[in-house]
Amino acid sequence: MSGAVHETVSGGSAKTARIVIYGLLLLLAAIYLLPLYVMLTTSLKSLDEIRGGDMLSLPASPSIAAWTKAWGEACIGVTCTGIKGYFWNSIKMVVPAVIISTLLGALNGYVLTKWRFPGHKIVFGMMLFACFIPFQAVLIPMARMLGMMGIANTTTGLVFVHVIYGLGFTTLFFRNYYEAFPDELIKAAMMDGAGFFRIFWRILLPTSGPIIVVTVIYQFTNIWNDFLFGVSFSSGGSSPMTVALNNLVASSTGVKEYNVDMAAAVFAALPTLFVYIVAGRYFVRGLMAGAVKG
C-alpha cells in the first residue's frame, strides 16, 4: 500500500516538474522570438498604424507594400537602386567563401592528423592563435593586401578576406574530427597504392558529413552577418546586404518608414534563419561526432 502511494507521489512530482520545465521553456522561447514577431508584424503594418504605438498588436490590414519597397527601392547613400542587388552581393560572397574555406579546412585537418610533418603542432598552434585575432587588428594590413592584389572594393576581395579569416576555424573543426578517424584505414589505403588526394577524396571526405554541416553553418552565419569587413573593404555597388541595411536605416530622410526598415531586416535575416531551420539539428550532432576518440 505504501509502495503504491510512493509511486503515485513520485509520478505526480515528475509530472509537475515536467510542466514547470516546459512552461519555462515556452516562456523563454516567447521572449527570444518576440523581436522577430515585432519585426514581422511591423513590416506588414501601415505607417499610420505603426504611429498608434501598439507594437505587439497584429496588423489590422496586412500589406506587403513595405516588403516591395524594401526589396526594390532601398537606398544606399543618395542612390536608390533596391536592396535586392546587395542581397545577391551577399549570396555571391557567401557561397564561394564557405565552399573554399570548408575545402581548405578539410585539407588542413587531413594533413595535420594523417600526414604529420616536423613542426605540425607549431603550425596548428599558429592557425589556432589566428582564430583569436580581433577583426580590427587586421583591417589595415588586409586593406594593403587587397590593394596590392587589385581586388579592393570588390566581391572577390570580400571572398578572399572571409576565406583567410575563417581558415583557422575550419581547420580546427576538421582537425578535431579527423583526429578520431582510424589511422589503420589510412595505412591500409596507402598499402593498396592510394595517394594523398585519393585517400582524401575517396575515404575521408565521404565520411565527413557531420563536420561539413557544422563548418558550413558556422561559416555561412559568420560571413552573412559580418558588417565590419563589408563596410571596410567594399563600397557602392559591391557592398553586402548588412552594409546596405545599415545605410538604408541611416539614410532615411523625412518620414521614418519603420515598416520598410523592418522588412529589409527580415530579408537580411531570412538566409541564416533558413539554414538553421533546415540543418540546425545536425549542428550539435556534428560538433559531438569528433568529441570522443575511438
85 three-state secondary structure:
helix
For residue 47, is pLDDT > 60? yes
Task: Give percent above pLDDT 70 in the chain.
Answer: 87
Burial 237-249 (b: 16+ CB within 10 A, else e): ebbbbbbbbbbbb
For residue 1, is pLDDT > 80? no
The DSSP string of 96-155 is HHHHHHHHHHHHHHHHHHHS--TTHHHHHHHHHHHTTS-GGGGHHHHHHHHHHHT-TTSH
Q: Could you report the per-residue pLDDT of 128-141, keeping only the tens digit for each?
A: 888 888 888 888 99
Let me know: does 133 contact 199? Beta carbons within 8 Å.
Answer: no
pLDDT-derived band at 51, boundaries 50, 70, 90 = confident
For residue 74, is pLDDT > 70? no
For residue 252, is pLDDT > 90? no
Q: What mean pLDDT, rounded, does the chain reach?
A: 84
Closest CA to 138 of 174, 111, 166: 166
pLDDT-derived band at 237, boundaries 50, 70, 90 = confident
pLDDT-derived band at 4, boundaries 50, 70, 90 = low
The one-character DSSP state at 207 is G
Q: Where exactly does CATH 1.10.3720.10 map onto the chain?
A: 72-289
More confident residue, 285 or 125: 125
75 three-state secondary structure:
strand
CA–CA separation, 81 vs 255, rounded Å? Answer: 19
* pLDDT at residue 260 in the model: 87
The mean pLDDT value for 7-12 works out to: 57
Closest CA to 161 of 93, 110, 106: 93
CA–CA separation, 117 vs 122, rounded Å? Answer: 10
**Helix (H) or strand (E) segment spanning residue 95:** helix 83-114
Task: Give percent above pLDDT 90 in the chain.
Answer: 32
Q: Phi/psi zone of residue 150: left (φ > 0), alpha (ψ -120 to 50 degrees), beta?
A: left
CA–CA separation, 38 vs 262, rounded Å? Answer: 9
Report the predicted TM-score, pTM, of the whole model to 2 decimal places: 0.83
Tell me which of 12-16, 66-70, 99-103, 244-248 is least confident.
Answer: 12-16
For residue 8, is pLDDT > 70? no
CA–CA separation, 232 vs 144, rounded Å? Answer: 12
For residue 223, is pLDDT > 90? yes
Report, at the CATH architecture level, how domain 72-289 is classified: Orthogonal Bundle (1.10)
pLDDT-derived band at 78, boundaries 50, 70, 90 = very low
Q: Could you report the per-residue pLDDT of 140-182, keeping only the tens digit for each?
A: 999 999 999 999 889 999 999 999 999 999 999 999 899 888 8
